[in-house]
């Protein structure tokens, strides 16, 4: 049994090849061609592909958010300062070197 949809031109050639092969092998045969008027592509394949791509994208987005979160945790776990002061301006005075910044911060705390 051979399914054939829109294959009218190919049927004679297929039949001839099958007959030749079966006679060569000395096998009894019966060839049935069936046209069920249905294309080979199943209905709804576009919907399946779109849904697959959508949910795949959703998973990638979730992984990106999770990756950002883990990255932030990693940065915090290092216990490094978020920024390094090069100078401090306070009441019109600039504290530009390390010793003066430490002095300013010590006076501010005490």
| CA-wise closest residue to 90 among 77, 76, 103, 73 | 103
Output the tens digit of pLDDT for each of the chain's 110 residues: 666 767 778 888 888 998 999 999 998 888 887 877 766 667 788 899 999 999 999 999 999 999 999 999 988 888 777 777 778 888 888 888 888 888 888 888 76
Confidence (pLDDT) at 89: 82
Confidence (pLDDT) at 83: 76
Confidence (pLDDT) at 82: 75
The number of angstroms, rounded, from the C-alpha of 77 to the middle of its chain's C-alpha atoms is: 30
Confidence (pLDDT) at 105: 82
- Residue 65 and residue 62: Cα distance in Å, rounded? 5
Confidence (pLDDT) at 24: 92
Task: Tell me the pTM.
Answer: 0.41
Helix, strand and coil in the chain, % to nearest 5: 55, 10, 35
């Amino acid at each position: 049994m051979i399914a054939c949809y829109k294959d009218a031109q190919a049927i004679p050639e297929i039949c001839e090849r099958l007959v030749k092969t079966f006679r060569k092998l000395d096998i009894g045969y019966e060839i049935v061609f069936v046209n069920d008027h249905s294309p080979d592509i199943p209905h709804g394949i576009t919907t399946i592909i779109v849904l697959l791509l959508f949910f795949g994208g959703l998973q990638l987005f979730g992984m990106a958010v999770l990756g950002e979160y883990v990255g932030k945790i990693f940065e915090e776990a290092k216990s490094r300062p978020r920024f390094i002061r090069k100078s401090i301006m306070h009441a019109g005075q600039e504290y530009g070197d390390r010793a003066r910044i430490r002095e300013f911060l010590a006076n501010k705390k005490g």
